[in-house]
């Protein structure tokens, strides 16, 4: 189950990462190494994990986060271990006819074949830079450009929803200005062509435009758990 939350303010507070017992750590490393053998494109770079979500001062949401690396998410496949969950951003990109864009992850990604909104796990800030709403918005704009070719200023994104899953995963979702259907297809095809020229797979191998949750079963492959409730939410607001 995914809970949809709206909040006037979002606060992000860094906490210490959870301790991982030696036995679980060894099993995690084995799982990660096997995953890299299966997909050499995986990279153990820095990433933010979700450490908790709570209400604070009425209509504000408090998100606790910690620094880690991608290999720690391999704990999800270790029996009995406490799985670490990500803090991620996504962008709801509407069309001028009220539909929204979703994409299918390519074979070189960590979740090949999975449908989702443009977005991804949040990376921790460097130096003295804070992890705040501005940083999340900038990260969301980068993900949108990298996955769809739609390059827009981060300031044009409006936070509209926060999702909180039963597994503790927290997603911060931004609404982009609507674009013509033809522009979305043209920018995506140009992105794929450029990536192919460089000998790389694009992060999305396909995009689709959906207007309601009833259209999701027609997409070939699995989709992220938050997709259906967020599409339902957007179909009532964006498509109305």
Write the CATH number for 7. Answer: 3.90.79.10
Most distant pair of Cα atoms in the chain: their distance:
54
pLDDT of residue 114: 95
Q: Which of 117-121, 142-146, 162-166 is predicted with the least confidence, judged by mean pLDDT?
A: 162-166
**Bigger pLDDT: 139 or 1?**
139
Q: Model confidence over 154-165: pLDDT tens digits?
A: 999 999 999 998
Tally of structural domains, the chain:
1
Residue 237: is its pLDDT beyond 90? no
Residue 70: is its pLDDT beyond 70? yes
Which domain, by its residues, includes 58?
2-237
Q: Model confidence over 77-113: pLDDT tens digits?
A: 999 998 899 999 999 999 999 999 999 999 888 889 9
Q: Model confidence over 11-56: pLDDT tens digits?
A: 999 999 989 999 999 999 999 999 999 989 899 999 999 999 998 7
pLDDT of residue 155: 97
pLDDT of residue 240: 53
pLDDT of residue 239: 55
Q: Model confidence over 217-231: pLDDT tens digits?
A: 999 999 999 999 999
pLDDT of residue 100: 97
């Amino acid at each position: 189950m995914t809970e949809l939350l709206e909040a006037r303010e979002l606060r992000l507070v860094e906490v210490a990462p959870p301790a991982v017992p030696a036995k679980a750590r060894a099993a995690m490393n084995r799982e990660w190494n096997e995953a890299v053998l299966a997909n050499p494109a995986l990279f153990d770079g820095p990433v933010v994990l979700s450490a908790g979500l709570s209400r604070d001062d009425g209509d504000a949401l408090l998100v606790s986060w910690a620094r880690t690396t991608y290999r720690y998410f391999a704990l999800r496949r270790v029996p009995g271990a406490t799985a670490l969950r990500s803090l991620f951003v996504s962008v709801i990109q509407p069309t001028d006819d009220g539909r929204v864009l979703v994409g299918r992850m390519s074979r070189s990604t960590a979740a090949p074949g999975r449908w989702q909104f443009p977005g991804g796990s949040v990376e921790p800030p460097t130096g003295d830079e804070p992890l705040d709403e501005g940083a999340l918005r900038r990260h969301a704009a980068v993900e949108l450009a990298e996955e769809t070719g739609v390059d827009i200023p981060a300031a044009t994104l409006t936070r509209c929803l926060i999702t909180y899953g039963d597994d503790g995963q927290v997603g911060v979702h931004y609404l982009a200005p609507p674009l013509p259907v033809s522009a979305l297809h043209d920018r995506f095809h140009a992105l794929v062509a450029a990536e192919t020229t460089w000998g790389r797979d694009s992060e999305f191998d396909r995009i689709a435009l959906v207007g309601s949750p009833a259209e999701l079963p027609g997409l070939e492959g699995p989709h992220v758990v938050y997709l259906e409730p967020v599409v339902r939410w957007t179909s009532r607001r964006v498509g109305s």
